[in-house]
């Protein structure tokens, strides 16, 4: 007598991608890349600079982010969203003078890194310079 369960195909709802699972936090890696781009600019930043700053090797960078340009775009998107939120909060203050003070304080916090290095705005300092040669 044959058991019917013998012929059943087992299926799994979990599909695992190729290779090992990521050993790093992608969001933290993007923030590290963002600071590197802010400090050095897009053109002067190499994939090796990014790998070192992010604490991952080149193959992991390419596997997770496709390359320098895609990583830059992701970092720029994260930066723009964060800045929009920060500046909207600063401008929520109903008293104009207080809103302006809050806006300047927010800008100072945003454009100076934790180590005290002034880097400015990622859009104005890196994206604008690349726009002429890189759509």
d(CA 111, CA 119): 6
Element at 64 (helix H, strand E): helix 58-65
CA dihedral of 118, 115, 70, 106, whole degrees rounded to 10: -60
Q: Which of 17-26, 41-50, 89-98, 114-123 has the lowest mean pLDDT?
A: 17-26
Q: Which long-range contacts (CB under 8 A, 24 or more apart) does 90-96 make?
A: none
What beta strand segments (E) does 1-135 contain?
none
Residue, of 134 and 116, whose pLDDT is higher: 116
Question: pLDDT tier at 53 (50, 70, 90 boundaries)?
Answer: very high
**Rounded to two decimals, what is the model's pTM?**
0.74
Question: pLDDT tier at 22 (50, 70, 90 boundaries)?
Answer: low
């Amino acid at each position: 007598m044959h058991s019917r369960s013998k012929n059943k195909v087992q299926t799994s709802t979990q599909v695992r991608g190729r290779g090992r699972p990521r050993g790093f936090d992608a969001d933290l890696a993007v923030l590290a890349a963002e600071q590197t781009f802010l400090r050095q600019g897009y053109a002067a930043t190499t994939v090796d600079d990014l790998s070192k700053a992010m604490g991952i090797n080149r193959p992991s960078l390419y596997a997770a982010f496709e390359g320098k340009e895609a990583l830059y775009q992701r970092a720029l998107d994260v930066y723009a969203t964060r800045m929009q939120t920060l500046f909207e909060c600063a401008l929520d203050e109903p008293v104009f003078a207080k809103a302006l003070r809050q806006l300047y304080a927010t800008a100072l916090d945003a454009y100076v890194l934790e180590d005290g290095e002034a880097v400015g705005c990622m859009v104005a300092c890196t994206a604008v310079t690349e726009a002429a040669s890189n759509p």
